[in-house]
């Protein structure tokens, strides 16, 4: 008899997260929990100013503090060719500043001491003489012909521009605009935000001169890529480097890049021959590590009177900070921005992009999104909202006319992506029904009598996940695929390792469920391990919602390899030929004689005790999975808000989320991902951003200014599901880690705009803080969020 | 967190605490709930040589009403004690409303009312209520006690009128002349956020006539704004649309906000006016209902 899949914690089981056992008991093991014998502590001195020439650095007083073992500056790093390091986007980034500081918070010196108090004391005794330079805090300033050149360290860099890039068909798009009845435009800024994991970044470098081996405990989402990067930067052989990423307290993209702190701690360990621990503080994390967004999005839609979209133009201007250190597939200068409008049938499209250096922290990372698709989808849904208004059409009707229909798959987008499946119209219908779309107008009237303004906002989108197929996606030439290794022990228990790295997503729970589904081994009998490059198979790590689409597929594939071998063993045990064996969950049996069978556990035992002649003993294997395509989940988010016109304060009355992420492995975890993503979407829409004043001072460098929403103000979310399995993924999953962060913000913003656009205002930049909403209501004018922030 | 090195004392009596402060000649700092001081230590904005932790002085852990209606809040009374207090619930509406808006629920379990007033943050909530209620701080020094009127207590941003060797042992709020009504409204972007603008109003009423009016503002000036004079236009009057409008105008004029990332000066002034109007209209409505 086949096993009951839900009982063994297989596919579809809302199994409790196994990792939570240790987390809720305070037994997680984060980098900062690791203590090595003889360990020293490192503290980084950061620049207080955004742009200045370094005239001198005097470390004498720091060396004099008792307990100080080493003081490093750009000069000492330069002597070992480590003052600069390559970025993931073929630029260079200062490790410790030599010539200039280029953003507030930049790493200037480091002290290594017996304890962190001493290190901090000594840092404050380093005297740095700065000669200040004007700071550039937005791309408009960066383009000014009189602007100072930020990257005067680079040859052939005469301006502050980093790149020009384009994709799409310009002529076809121009033709579409020539034929249009109506042309609609938007002009938006997606403000700089920060992934802000609760655990900041850190590392413990432990160089053993006797063995020549370097072990680094590190907060990284991509240990194998880091191993390669460290090998290149530190010029150490790759087999002598072991990266261990223990429990991570969140990542959200922040823990993909290589940061100066990691590199400095490694050099410090080599020089002192002692383990060196560096743990960033929260402000250090917010002020210097990989940010998200900071892109200006301008666009136009060519429209026919009946609502059909004929063409789309988009221009992005992106602010990358002082070093172009974006973490993204190499080919795409502005990530997967061209995935915009993938959910809609758009005949012609053209995208142009420009990137600029500014005096702000570097490292555009995909903050909980697949390489800038958050900006792409936000632009798309704000553009859709504006276009429906310009046409005088209902928001839902306008989307229905243009969404890709179920029978159009596989569908090739104007920018060349291939989407494979979906029920877009159905998702929208479920969402509208749940929010009570039909009666909204009456509600709005009634509220007006109470002096309140109601608004409703829709966001429908698909996004490309699972980078990627190796034909198109690589980072610094390393192809993007992933891996899993499964070792089934004699007693039928197993250990699974992958090249991904969980940061809270629950891989230890979910991967075991995939194995349970494929092999019938109860999920509780499978332990999952990730993050140690000496034991895990090579993988590209976890970000861009790629774990389930890529590593998760590898897990299914390796389990299938195991099953294929177990089938041979079963035939041997049952004394029939392999062709006469049937499989049901957890068991092989003889065709036509269901009683005669052996369990997968029987096969595991036999693999170590009774293998047929000619078959290798053991039951272990590895699978590498190179996905044939990206996966494309779909979501329809609808939000209803109430605005207080006297203060600009707005409240969410109801939020409905309909997600189609294909087959759900663990529905509870999926719902948790959506809830968390919507919370972050709400944060960005309502309160969260990093901005700068005229001098380049970072506003948002601590949690009094950079606001994370709490359970107190976060609205409730009503979740619904539609399931369209992915046709090319082994278990039909599409990925869910980021849909809500990507698609959510536009739903909130469209709702607030809907409530106030009777004044004539077309756009208020995020975050929609009460003062901005009030200003829009008073003036009927757009409110720009471009820094510098206004001050007295 | 890695503050500078400091010595630590935890006396159990006020006399002992004052003696330690006195001995250290300005180099010691009082530690109450720690919700402002500890962040300052962490950032090394404060690097005192010695901390005098008053949490073991159990005699300071109280708030009570005297028979004449005077409210006394001891230096260890936490924000949370006031939030859930049965004592002030009806008698002190301004305090009761503010209590639930100070910081977040976690901070409220530790932070103290008196500590907040001493900290004199221009965005702090309690100092505003104290000014509106015409409160006093009782300071204990080596040579005895003195009372400092709240309007003289906050001398600037993060500075108060205490001498280095004085401990604030108690906050005193005088009894209302007639019926105490009032309210507290705060514009915050998130729970635990400091005020973008907030308004404390406290009125004493005799029938429907205002006999005393107090008002103070947080977040809209370099220090807590004393708007008592502005609101005095209400004294001797009833609450009507006209008198409310006049008071709201005068109070908004008393605000001295700055434009920053939380909003323009004009916006903050507008919020002050809106909140004053809302509090006073709310009072007028409930007084009408009661009548
Ligand atoms: C996340 C967060 C959010 C917050 N939000 C708000 C908010 O929205 N509104 C608000 O008003 N406050 C807010 N606060 C501050 C909080 O209310 C503090 O509790 C309060 O400001 C200080 O009280 P305390 O008891 O913690 O004092 P401490 O931090 O212990 O001390 C503060 C200062 O007062 C001095 N001091 C304390 N007690 C005495 C005494 N008895 N005699 C003499 N000197 C004394 C100390 O030496 C120190 O200089 C917030 C704090 C945090 C951490």
Interface test with A, best of B190, B191, B222 (most A CBs within 10 A): B190
pLDDT per position as a tens digit, B117-145? 999 999 999 999 999 999 999 999 999 99
pLDDT for res B291: 75
pLDDT above 70 coverage of chain A, percent = 100
pLDDT for res B9: 98
Of A740, A744, A737, the C-alpha closest to A467 is A737
- On the question of pLDDT at A233 being above 90, the answer is no
Q: Which atom of ligand 1 is nearest to the CA of B40?
A: 29
What total number of domains does chain A contain?
A: 3
* Per-residue pLDDT band at A480 (split at 50, 70, 90): confident
A651 and A572 inside one domain: no
Does the bond joining A468 to the residue before it have cis omega, within 30 degrees of 0?
yes
A412 and A386 inside one domain: yes
pLDDT per position as a tens digit, A12-21? 999 999 999 9
B73 and B44 inside one domain: no
pLDDT for res A331: 85
How far is the C-alpha of B8 from the C-alpha of A290, rounded, in Å? 39
What total number of domains does chain B contain?
A: 3
pLDDT for res A470: 84
Choose one of A590, A625, A660: the last residue of a domain.
A625
Mapped onto helix, strand or coil, the DSSP state of residue A462 is strand
CA A73 to chain centre: 32
* Per-residue pLDDT band at A665 (split at 50, 70, 90): very high
Q: What is the CATH number of the domain that holds B92?
A: 3.30.465.10
What number of C-beta contacts closer than 8 Å exist between A and B? 65
Of A676, A596, A642, the C-alpha closest to A748 is A642
Q: Which atom of ligand 1 is nearest to the CA of B54?
A: 41
Are the beta carbons of B263 and A770 separated by less than 8 Å? yes
* Within a domain: B93: yes
* Per-residue pLDDT band at A370 (split at 50, 70, 90): confident
* Within a domain: A411: yes
Q: Provide mean pLDDT across the span A45-60.
A: 98
pLDDT for res A467: 82
Q: Provide mean pLDDT across the span A756-783.
A: 98
B63 and B164 inside one domain: yes
pLDDT for res B274: 98
pLDDT for res A791: 85
Q: What are phi and psi of A295, to 5 degrees?
A: -130, 140
B239 lines ligand 1 (CB under 6 A): no
Of A284, A283, A290, the C-alpha closest to A325 is A290
Chain A residues in contact with B264 by the CB 8 A cut-off are 771, 775, 790
How far is the C-alpha of B30 from the C-alpha of B56, rounded, in Å? 12
Are the beta carbons of B190 and A647 separated by less than 8 Å? no
Q: What is the CATH number of the domain that holds B31?
A: 3.30.43.10
Smallest Cα distance from B34 to chain A, Å: 16
Most informative mutation of B8, B35, B57, B113 for ligand 1 (most atoms within 8 A of CB): B35
- On the question of pLDDT at A185 being above 80, the answer is yes
Of B216, B220, B148, the C-alpha closest to B182 is B216
pLDDT for res A491: 97
Whether B167 contacts B17, CB under 8 Å = yes
Rounded to a whole number of angstroms, the CA Rg of chain B reads: 19
Of A341, A400, A431, the C-alpha closest to A660 is A431
Q: Provide mean pLDDT across the span B205-220.
A: 97
* Per-residue pLDDT band at B213 (split at 50, 70, 90): very high
Its domain, for residue A670, covers: 370-466+629-779
Q: What are phi and psi of B225, to 5 degrees?
A: -90, 125
Of B245, B63, B229, the C-alpha closest to B134 is B229
Whether A377 contacts A463, CB under 8 Å = yes
SS (H, E, C) chain B: CCCCCCEEECCCCHHHHHHHHHHCCCCEEEECCCCCHHHHHHCCCCCCCEEEECCCCHHHCCEEECCCCCEEEECCCEHHHHHCCHHHHHHCHHHHHHHCCCCCHHHHHHCEHHHHHHHCCCCCHHHHHHHHCCCEEEEEECCEEEEEEHHHHEEECCEECCCCCCEEEEEEECCCCCEEEEEEEEECCCCCCCCCEEEEEEEEEECCEEEEEEEEEECCCCCCEECHHHHHHHCCCECCHHHHHHHHHHHHHHCCCCCECCECHHHHHHHHHHHHHHHHHHHHHHHHHHC
* Segment among A173-182, A477-486, B4-13, B271-280 with least mean pLDDT: A477-486
* Within a domain: A155: no
Cα angle A722-A727-A729, degrees, rounded to a multiple of 5: 100
* Within a domain: A167: no
B116 lines ligand 1 (CB under 6 A): yes
pLDDT per position as a tens digit, A143-163? 999 999 999 999 999 999 999
Interface test with B, best of A277, A279, A647, A764 (most B CBs within 10 A): A647
B118 lines ligand 1 (CB under 6 A): yes
Chain A residues in contact with B274 by the CB 8 A cut-off are 646-647
Chain A residues in contact with B4 by the CB 8 A cut-off are 121
Positions of A marked catalytic: 221, 368-369, 738
C-alpha distances (whole Å) from A350 to each of A139, A311, A327, A371, B45 are 22, 8, 24, 19, 52
B89 and B168 inside one domain: yes
Q: Provide mean pLDDT across the span A557-575.
A: 98
A71 and A99 inside one domain: yes
Mapped onto helix, strand or coil, the DSSP state of residue A477 is coil
Q: What is the CATH number of the domain that holds A210?
A: 3.90.1170.50
pLDDT for res B216: 98
Q: Provide mean pLDDT across the span A301-322.
A: 98
Q: Provide mean pLDDT across the span A62-75.
A: 98
Most informative mutation of B1, B28, B30 for ligand 1 (most atoms within 8 A of CB): B30
- On the question of pLDDT at B152 being above 80, the answer is yes
Q: Provide mean pLDDT across the span A567-595.
A: 97
pLDDT per position as a tens digit, A526-537? 999 999 999 999
* Within a domain: B203: yes
Its domain, for residue B43, covers: 7-53
pLDDT for res A468: 77
A76 and A208 inside one domain: yes
- On the question of pLDDT at A1 being above 80, the answer is no
B163 and B265 inside one domain: no
B40 and B63 inside one domain: no
pLDDT for res A460: 98
Smallest Cα distance from A649 to chain B, Å: 9
pLDDT above 90 coverage of chain A, percent = 94
Q: Provide mean pLDDT across the span A651-669.
A: 98
Rounded to a whole number of angstroms, the CA Rg of chain A reads: 27
Whether B233 contacts B246, CB under 8 Å = yes
Most informative mutation of B116, B190, B195 for ligand 1 (most atoms within 8 A of CB): B116
pLDDT for res A475: 80
Are the beta carbons of A791 and B258 separated by less than 8 Å? yes
pLDDT for res A240: 97
* Within a domain: B291: no
A554 and A677 inside one domain: no
């Amino acid at each position: 008899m086949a096993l009951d899949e839900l009982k063994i914690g297989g596919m579809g089981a809302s199994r409790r997260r196994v990792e939570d056992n240790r987390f809720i008991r305070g037994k997680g093991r984060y980098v900062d929990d690791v203590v090595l014998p003889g360990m020293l502590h490192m503290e980084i001195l950061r620049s207080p100013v955004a742009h200045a020439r370094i005239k001198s650095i005097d470390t004498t007083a720091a060396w004099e503090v008792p307990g100080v073992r080493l003081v490093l500056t750009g000069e000492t790093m330069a002597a070992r060719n480590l003052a600069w390091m390559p970025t993931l986007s073929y630029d260079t980034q200062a490790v410790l500043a030599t010539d200039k500081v280029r953003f507030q918070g930049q790493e200037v010196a480091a002290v290594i001491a017996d304890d962190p108090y001493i290190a901090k004391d000594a840092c404050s005794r380093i005297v740095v003489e700065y000669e200040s330079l004007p700071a550039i805090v937005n791309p408009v300033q960066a383009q000014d012909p009189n602007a100072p050149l930020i990257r005067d360290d680079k040859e052939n860099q005469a301006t502050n521009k980093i790149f020009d890039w384009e994709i799409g068909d310009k002529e076809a798009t121009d033709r579409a605009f020539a034929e249009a009845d109506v042309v609609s435009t938007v002009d938006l800024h997606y403000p700089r935000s920060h992934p802000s994991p609760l655990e900041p970044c850190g590392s413990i470098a432990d160089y053993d001169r006797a063995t020549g081996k370097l072990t680094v405990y590190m907060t990284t989402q991509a240990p194998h890529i880091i191993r390669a990067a460290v090998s290149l930067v530190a010029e150490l052989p790759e087999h002598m480097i072991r990266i261990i990423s223990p429990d991570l307290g969140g990542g959200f993209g922040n823990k993909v890049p290589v940061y100066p702190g990691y590199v400095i701690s490694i050099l410090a360990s080599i020089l002192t021959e002692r383990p060196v621990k560096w743990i960033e503080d929260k402000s250090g994390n917010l002020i210097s590590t990989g940010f998200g967004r900071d892109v200006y999005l301008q666009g136009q839609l060519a429209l026919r009177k009946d609502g059909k979209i004929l063409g789309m133009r988009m221009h992005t201007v992106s602010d990358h900070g002082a070093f172009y250190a974006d973490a993204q597939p190499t080919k795409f200068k502005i990530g997967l921005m061209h995935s915009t409008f993938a959910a809609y049938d758009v005949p012609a499209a053209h995208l142009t992009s420009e990137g600029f250096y500014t005096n702000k922290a570097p490292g555009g990372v995909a903050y909980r999104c697949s390489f800038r698709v958050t900006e792409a989808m936000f632009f798309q849904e704000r553009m859709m909202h504006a276009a429906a208004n310009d046409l005088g059409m209902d928001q839902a009707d306008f989307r229905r006319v243009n969404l890709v229909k179920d029978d159009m798959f596989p569908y090739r987008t104007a920018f060349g992506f291939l989407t494979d499946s979906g029920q877009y119209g159905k998702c929208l219908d479920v969402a509208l029904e749940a929010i009570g779309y039909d009666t909204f107008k009456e509600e709005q009237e009634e509220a007006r009598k109470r002096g309140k303004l109601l608004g409703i906002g829709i966001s429908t989108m698909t996004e490309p996940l699972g980078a990627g197929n190796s034909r198109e996606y690589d980072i610094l030439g390393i192809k993007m695929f992933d891996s899993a290794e499964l070792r089934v022990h004699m007693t039928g228990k197993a250990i699974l390792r992958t090249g991904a790295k969980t940061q809270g997503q629950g891989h230890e729970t979910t991967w075991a469920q995939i194995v349970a589904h494929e092999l019938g081994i109860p999920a509780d009998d499978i332990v999952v391990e990730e993050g140690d490059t000496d034991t895990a198979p090579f993988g590209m790590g976890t970000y861009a919602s790629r774990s389930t689409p890529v590593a998760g597929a590898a897990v299914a594939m390796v389990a299938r390899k195991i099953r294929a071998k177990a089938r041979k063993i079963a035939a041997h045990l049952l004394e029939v030929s392999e062709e006469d064996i049937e499989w049901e969950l957890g068991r092989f049996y003889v065709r036509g004689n269901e009683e005669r069978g052996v369990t997968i556990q029987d096969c595991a035992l036999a693999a170590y005790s009774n293998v047929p002649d000619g078959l290798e003993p053991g039951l272990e294997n590895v699978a590498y999975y190179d996905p044939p395509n990206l996966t494309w989940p779909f979501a329809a988010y609808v939000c209803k808000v109430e605005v207080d016109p006297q203060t600009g304060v707005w409240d969410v009355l109801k939020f409905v989320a309909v997600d189609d992420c294909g087959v759900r492995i663990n529905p509870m975890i999926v719902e948790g991902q959506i809830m968390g993503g919507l919370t972050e979407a709400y944060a960005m829409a309502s309160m969260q951003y990093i901005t700068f004043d005229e001098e380049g001072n970072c506003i948002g460098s601590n949690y009094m200014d950079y606001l994370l929403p709490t359970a107190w103000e976060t609205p409730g979310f009503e979740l619904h599901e539609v399931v369209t399995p992915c046709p090319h993924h082994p278990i039909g999953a599409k990925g869910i880690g980021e849909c809500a962060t990507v698609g959510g913000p536009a739903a909130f913003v469209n709702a607030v705009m809907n409530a106030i656009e009777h004044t004539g205002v077309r756009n208020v930049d995020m975050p929609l803080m009460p003062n901005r909403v009030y200003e829009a209501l008073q003036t009927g004018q757009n409110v720009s969020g471009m820094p510098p922030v206004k001050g007295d | 967190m890695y503050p500078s090195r400091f010595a630590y004392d935890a006396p159990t009596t006020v006399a002992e605490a004052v003696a330690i402060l006195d001995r250290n000649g300005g180099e010691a700092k009082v530690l109450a709930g720690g919700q402002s001081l500890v962040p300052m230590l962490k950032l090394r904005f404060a690097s005192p040589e010695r901390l005098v932790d008053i949490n073991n002085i159990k005699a300071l852990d109280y708030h009570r009403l005297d028979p004449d209606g005077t409210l006394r809040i001891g230096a260890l009374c936490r924000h949370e004690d006031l939030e859930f207090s049965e004592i002030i619930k009806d008698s002190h509406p301004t305090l009761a409303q503010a209590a639930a808006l100070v910081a977040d629920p976690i901070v409220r379990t530790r932070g103290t009312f008196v500590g907040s007033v001493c900290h004199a943050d221009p965005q702090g909530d309690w100092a505003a209520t104290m000014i509106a209620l015409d409160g006093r701080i009782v300071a204990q020094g080596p040579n005895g006690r003195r009372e400092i009127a709240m309007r003289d207590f906050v001398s600037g941003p993060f500075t108060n009128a205490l001498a280095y060797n004085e401990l604030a042992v108690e906050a005193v709020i005088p009894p209302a002349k007639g019926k105490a009504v009032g309210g507290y409204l705060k514009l915050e972007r998130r729970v635990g956020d400091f005020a973008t603008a907030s308004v404390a109003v406290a009125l004493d009423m005799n029938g429907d006539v205002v006999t005393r009016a107090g008002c103070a503002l947080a977040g809209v000036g370099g220090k807590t704004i004393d708007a008592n004079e502005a609101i005095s236009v209400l004294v001797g009057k009833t609450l009507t649309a006209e008198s409310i409008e006049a008071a709201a105008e005068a109070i908004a004029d008393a605000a001295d906000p700055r434009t920053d990332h939380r909003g323009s000066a004009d916006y903050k002034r507008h919020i002050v006016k809106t909140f004053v109007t809302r509090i006073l209209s709310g009072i007028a409505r409930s007084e009408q209902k009661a009548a």
